[in-house]
Amino acid sequence: MTTQVVSNTQYAKEYIDGVFEALKEKNAHQPEFLQAAEEIFLSLVPVFEQNPAYIKHNVLARIVEPDRIISFRVSWQDDNNKVQVNRGYRVQYNNVIGPYKGGLRFHPTVNESIMKFLAFEQIFKNALTGQPIGGGKGGSDFNPKGKSNSEIMRFCQAFMTELYRHIGPDVDVPAGDIGVGAREVGFLWGQYKRIRGAYEAGVLTGKTPGYGGSLARKEATGYGLVYFVEEMLREANQTFFEKTVVVSGSGNVAIYAIEKAQHFGARVLACSDSAGYIHDPEGIDIKLVKEIKEINGDRINTYVEYRPTATYHEGCTGIWSIPCDIALPCATQNEIDGDSARTLIANGTQVVAEGANMPSNLEAINEFLNAGVLFGPGKAANAGGVAVSALEMAQNSGRTYWSFQEVDEKLHGIMKSIYAQSSEAAKKYGYAGNLVVGSNIAGFVKVADGLISEGVY
């Protein structure tokens, strides 16, 4: 009996290592993609050990290879009538559970590695939501900073002029991510509608409420993150009340995470943008942050002009040296490295939950887990945004709108369920309390079983 278990473990390890070695060889210049894959692969040994059929069906190699990667030229005219060229992407990774689903990122750092890491993560995140959505991601190396409204509109129209032929309400449904909010989704949607000559509202999510968009989509990722942390705290017999919180970023996810954490009685001490962070020991004035970021489209450093209690500090990593009970990275990938993790641990941080995608590198994750910090990985903790996107698709299919409260209640239920699934899978496979392993396994198993049921193609 013992011999059999040992040999199954060995067999599972060898299989996973083999797939990873081949992946490294094929994608040697894609560090973000390999990082995301490694994090998931490391969690899967017990799954393959207990399900040898997954090896027989070679599910890991089949899931880690995207269905297709589309890359295209986007030419557009700036306000000086100069023609600019950017590169657009859509990675359609896996549609076992539903149409490809995932956001669009407009940021100068966008490349194939980043698109693939995001799309790969999205498969398992979407599976965890329990909604019928597959995994995909897209975007462009277009930099929206400093562009006029007309330039943004022309870029979005040019982007959709190519993208439209690859998407559809039953095919692939993009939404927002960094640099893409309701304004950009509106421009993309308008262009899709004109080209298709039909009101296929379910082709994009994150639309303006009342024009095909769902109430509470804007709030969903941030609120969902806080609902998820509420579950983590519940297991430790704690709540948000009077906890100190540090949130990185000051975009869509960060703003609504701050709002909901404050609603639950937490004191949020700091937030940031890519240039620096503000520290307000009396608690962030979220109305002011919204005015600066959502209405004026300004930088976060202007906050200190209105709040004498606050200070501004240049650079992104310093924010993690502010002592806090709960840290919520909500800006971008790899914003917490091993050093920042050790600083947080030394300062007594009890909970770290990821609003951003892959904000903690592998070293940081290991530091948190080894130190007994409660760690909520992004694919579980930030799934609220895409979950409400799926609810937007459902409303669009039913040609109806639900109230804010109805959507928010469903979101709350979904986040509780994601926590429960992750926590139970961790226990079942011998890693109680490890939500990284738990969420990776819970998401992976759903996709693997679906893939096997489809047969080989």
The helix/strand/coil state of 99 is coil
The amino acid at residue 433 is: G
Looking at the Cβ atoms of 178 and 229, the one nearer to ligand NDP is: 178
Q: Can residue 273 be called a binding residue for ligand 2IT (CB under 6 A)?
A: no
What distance in Å separates the CA atoms of residue 358 and residue 78, rounded to the nearest whole number?
A: 33
What does the DSSP assignment read for 152-196?
HHHHHHHHHHHHGGG-BTTTEEEE-BTTB-HHHHHHHHHHHHHHH
Measure the CA–CA gap between 353 and 254, rounded to whole angstroms.
12
Distance CA 390, CA 224 (A): 14
Nearer to ligand 2IT, 286 or 390 (CB): 390
Tokens standing for residue 128 = 């965890």
Please, which residue, 157 or 221, has the CB nearer to ligand 2IT?
Answer: 221
Q: Which is nearer to ligand NDP, 224 or 438 (CB)?
A: 224
Pick the closer one to ligand NDP by CB: 202 or 224. 224
The site partner of 51 among ligand 2IT, ligand NDP, none (C-beta below 5 to 8 Å per kind) is none
Cβ 153 to ligand NDP shortest distance, Å? 18
| Shortest reach from residue 87's CB to ligand NDP, in Å | 18
**Residues within window 176-195 making contact with ligand 2IT, judged by CB under 6 A:** 177
Using DSSP's 3-state secondary structure scheme, residue 28 falls into coil
Between residue 28 and residue 57, which ones bind ligand 2IT under the rule CB under 6 A? none
The minimum distance between CB 217 and ligand NDP, in angstroms, equals 8
Three-state DSSP class for residue 411: helix
Smallest separation (angstroms) from ligand 2IT to the CB of 117: 11
Site for ligand 2IT in 106-145 (CB under 6 A): 122, 125
CB of 283 to ligand 2IT, least distance (A): 28
Residue 442 binding result from ligand 2IT, ligand NDP, none, given CB thresholds of 5 to 8 Å by partner type: none
In terms of Cβ atoms closer than 10 Å to its own Cβ (0-12, 13-18, 19+), residue 387 is: buried
Report the catalytic residues: 137
What is d(CA 242, CA 84) in angstroms, rounded to the nearest whole number?
Answer: 50
Task: Find the shortest distance in angstroms from Cβ 273 to ligand NDP.
Answer: 3
Tell which one of 103, 251, 355, 359 touches ligand 2IT (CB under 6 A): 103
Residues of this chain, 353-372, that bind ligand 2IT according to CB under 6 A:
357
Six-digit token pair at 135? 């995994």
The type of residue at 136 is: G
Interface residues with ligand NDP (CB under 6 A)? Answer: 176-179, 221, 249-254, 273-275, 316, 330-332, 355-357, 382, 385
Longest dimension (CA), the chain: 74
Write the CB contacts of 107 (distance below 8 Å, at least 6 apart in sequence). 139, 141, 143, 178, 179
- Is the separation of the CB atoms in 43 and 441 below 8 Å? yes
Strands 135-140 and 100-106: parallel
Kindly tell me which of 103 and 186 has the beta carbon lying closer to ligand 2IT. Answer: 103
With CB atoms as reference, the residue minimizing the distance to ligand 2IT is 103
- Other CB atoms within a 10 A radius of the CB of residue 418 amount to 29
Our finding on whether 386 is near ligand 2IT (CB under 6 A) is: yes
Q: Which does 102 bind (CB under 5 to 8 A by kind): ligand NDP, ligand 2IT, none?
A: ligand 2IT
Q: Which residue is nearest to ligand NDP (CB)?
A: 251
- The span from the CA of 247 to the CA of 259, in Å, is 11
Is 389 a residue that touches ligand 2IT (CB under 6 A)? yes
Q: Which of 102, 46, 63, 172 is nearest to 447 (CA)?
A: 63
**Binding ligand 2IT by CB under 6 A: which of 94, 191, 205, 434?**
205
Given ligand 2IT, ligand NDP, none, residue 355, with its beta carbon under 5 to 8 Å by kind, binds: ligand NDP
Pick the closer one to ligand 2IT by CB: 102 or 359.
102
Q: In terms of CB distance, is 39 or 49 closer to ligand NDP?
A: 39
Could you give the C-alpha distances from 74 to 78, 91, 331, in angstroms and in order?
A: 12, 16, 26
CB 411 within 8 A of CB 160: no
Select from 88-96, 100-108, 234-242, 420-428 the region that touches ligand 2IT (CB under 6 A): 100-108
How far apart are CB 73 and ligand 2IT at their closest, in Å?
A: 24
Residues that bind ligand 2IT (CB under 6 A): 101-103, 122, 125, 175, 177, 205, 357, 385-386, 389
